[in-house]
Amino acid sequence: MSKSFKTFLKHTAKDFHNQSVNPPVVRASTIIFKSMKHLRKTQLRAQKNPTGGHYDYGRQGTSTTHILQKILTKLEESYHVFTTPTGFGSIFLAIFSIVRPGDEIIVADPVYSPTRILTQNFLKEFNIKSVFYNPHDLTTLQKNITKKTKMIFVENPGSNSFEFQDLKKIVLIAKKNKIISTIDNTWATPYYFKPIKFGFDMAVVSATKYYSGHSDVMGGSLAVNKKVFNKVRLAEKITGLRLGPDDAYLITRGLRTLDVRLDRHSENAKKVADYLSKNKKIKLLYPYKKNSFNFRMWKKYYSGASGLMGLKIKSKSINSVRKFVNSLKLFGYGYSWGGFESLVLHQEFRETGDRKYLNLARDEHLVRLHIGLEDPKDLIADIKQALRFVK
């Protein structure tokens, strides 16, 4: 990318044909041609240049979805980016593209709960074995590799518990054993870390989160290198996992301010983290403690931190933790994150998944905070008044 990330987002995808700053929404099921000769020429172009946006049917996309894919491909510095109707759709597409009956997949223990259900339970019915490794002990990854292992699936940091892993070691292990490596990079986005450039084969981002930024659209992206492109392309065609043009337009519009919003999320989160780190009843799950393994791993690979963090609250009374959460006035109660508003969730054990390596004592409780774009002084004041209930 010749321009900086920030400048590129502001000046890309202008539509001079229609004289609009943002590209128009093109909706189509039938892609119409002037003649059969024109249709066949388009199909031939698609064979020669499969990433060029040459479509003969609406399921393959329109100019609106193609523009978004081009933007994301440049941001990711990847060979291509596929877009799906949800973030989890991109996770499914990545795994479905590579893993087959009789294969094995090695998965980070702290993955997103639906990812765990897919790999641990659903894949078992198709004779696909899933093994989970300890994010802080990669010997548990290395020792479980067999000739049947086809993929290593990483989520970094870990879902809800925010473990940061040694990504270089994971990529080297994958390359040495000729295994496809995939990472869920939703927390950071390519603004803070570019997995394909780093050496991963595939990278997932839930576009529902920071790409959109306004909590009103769902979507996913799957960035790939050239090695896996054809496999993913075929799987996408067979499954029909394609983002619609209206959502593509909203995500494109949201991307214009991705850098501005993430900078503010990060700045606000750091101020909130500084305040929470002084509370003895709370272990902050965020890269702030400079002598910790998590901080070192974050600093080693990332250029910044987003607005999502976790709290491990020590309390003998779960009701006091619930009171703390329910007393917050400026934090919405709901799933997802990455929008402009702050959110809070008390994480019940079932929501963390069937974790093997989650170190959570009986009197410890997980709370997830997404720090939004509000005035951080107001957020800190709100947290302060609610913390009086933690006993």
Calpha distance 113→345 (Å, rounded): 15
**Strand pairing class (343-347; 364-370):** antiparallel
Q: What is the pTM of this model?
A: 0.94
Q: Which domains does the chain show, CATH number per domain?
A: 259-387 (3.90.1150.10)
Q: Give the pLDDT confidence score for residue 351 in this predicted structure.
A: 65
| Count of Cβ atoms closer than 10 Å to residue 49 Cβ | 10
Residue found by looking up tokens 């996770």 in the block? 91
Residue 269 and residue 306 in contact, taking contact as beta carbons nearer than 8 Å: yes
Q: Give the pLDDT confidence score for residue 2 in this predicted structure.
A: 57
Calpha distance 224→196 (Å, rounded): 7
| Count of Cβ atoms closer than 10 Å to residue 122 Cβ | 14
Chain CA centroid to CA 1, Å: 22
| Count of Cβ atoms closer than 10 Å to residue 51 Cβ | 15
Side chain identity at 66, as an amino acid letter?
H
* Segments in the chain below pLDDT 50: none
Sign, CA torsion 295/6/338/268: positive
Residue-averaged pLDDT of the chain: 94
Which residues does 234 contact at the CB level (< 8 Å), separation at least 6? 97
Side chain identity at 192, as an amino acid letter?
Y
SS3 state at 327 = coil
SS3 state at 341 = coil
Q: Give the pLDDT confidence score for residue 386 in this predicted structure.
A: 97
